[in-house]
């Protein structure tokens, strides 16, 4: 079992708990905490040596962050 | 990578994740997230995936700047 | 332990020390120079782990990216460009 796999699982666990129970209960804090399990999942995928999967996952993570930011901005403008 | 360096950079990753979870100010959270990203990069280099490393290193600040766009200037706690 | 591993160990120890300084620092602006120290150490260790010409390009990309990120955080914290 490679060290990337174990560290990735630990990071996914920490990030999921942090993202499910954000301390100041705001959307932005939850969005920042949501990036922790993304990096953990990247580490787990790294232990299987698939370069194309890693490239696609990194791009999609940034794109989904952008979409969530737009959603939060629209919701704060409507409120 | 032998065990000493795996422990050092893995400790960097876990330290960054715990600091991101604990801190309350969004700016401190983003700085700790940069610490986490810094710990991931040597593992990518150890596997020899240098193209993935270059792409990830350019995508990670982009993602931070997207979050900063929503943060604005009045979110700072004095 | 040959010379390359000793240099890598120095980079790792510097990274861990600066990370602990980042976490223990209270002021947000004083965290950013230590974050830059972490990224310098990581840029060095990327090249030392993989001695390959493309690794220099990847380390340069990470160096530029992390400096840009710190700059963006500091600029937003200080109020950003005034456009009014």
Which residue of B14, B37, B47 is in closest CB contact with A46? Answer: B47
Structure confidence by residue, pLDDT tens digits, A17-54: 999 999 888 888 999 999 999 999 999 999 998 889 99
Residues 6 or more apart whose CB falls under 8 angstroms from that of B62 comprise: A62
Furthest C-alpha separation in chain B: 46
- ipTM of the modeled complex: 0.86
Radius of gyration of chain B (CA): 14
In chain B, which residue's Cα lies nearest the Cα of A35?
Answer: B33
Spatial distance between the Cα atoms of B65 and B74, rounded to a whole number of angstroms: 16
Tokens in use for A75?
A: 């919701």
Chains touching C (at least 3 CB pairs under 8 A) are B
Which residue of B29, B37, B43 is in closest CB contact with A4? Answer: B43
Structure confidence by residue, pLDDT tens digits, B33-59: 999 999 999 999 998 889 999 999 999
Indicate the domain borders of chain C.
3-25+40-76
């Amino acid at each position: 079992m490679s060290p990337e796999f174990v560290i990735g699982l630990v990071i996914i666990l920490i990030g999921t708990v942090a993202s499910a129970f954000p301390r100041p209960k705001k959307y932005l804090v939850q969005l920042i905490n949501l990036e922790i399990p993304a990096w953990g999942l990247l580490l787990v995928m790294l232990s299987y040596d698939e370069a194309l999967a890693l490239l696609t996952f990194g791009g999609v993570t940034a794109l989904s962050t952008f979409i969530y930011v737009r959603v939060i901005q629209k919701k704060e403008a409507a409120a | 990578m032998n065990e000493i360096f795996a422990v050092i950079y893995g400790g960097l990753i876990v330290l960054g994740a715990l600091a991101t979870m604990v801190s309350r100010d969004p700016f401190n959270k983003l700085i700790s997230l940069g610490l986490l990203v810094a710990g991931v990069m040597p593992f990518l280099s150890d596997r020899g995936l240098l193209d993935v490393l270059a792409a990830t290193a350019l995508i990670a600040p982009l993602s931070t700047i997207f979050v900063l766009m929503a943060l604005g200037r009045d979110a700072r706690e004095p | 332990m040959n010379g390359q591993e000793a240099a890598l160990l120095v980079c790792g120890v510097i990274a861990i020390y600066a990370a602990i300084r980042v976490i223990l620092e209270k002021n947000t602006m004083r965290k950013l120079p230590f974050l830059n120290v972490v990224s310098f150490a990581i840029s060095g260790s990327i090249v030392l782990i993989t001695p390959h010409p493309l690794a220099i390009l990847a380390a340069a990309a990470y160096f530029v990216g992390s400096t840009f990120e710190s700059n963006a955080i500091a600029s937003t914290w200080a109020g950003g460009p005034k456009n009014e």
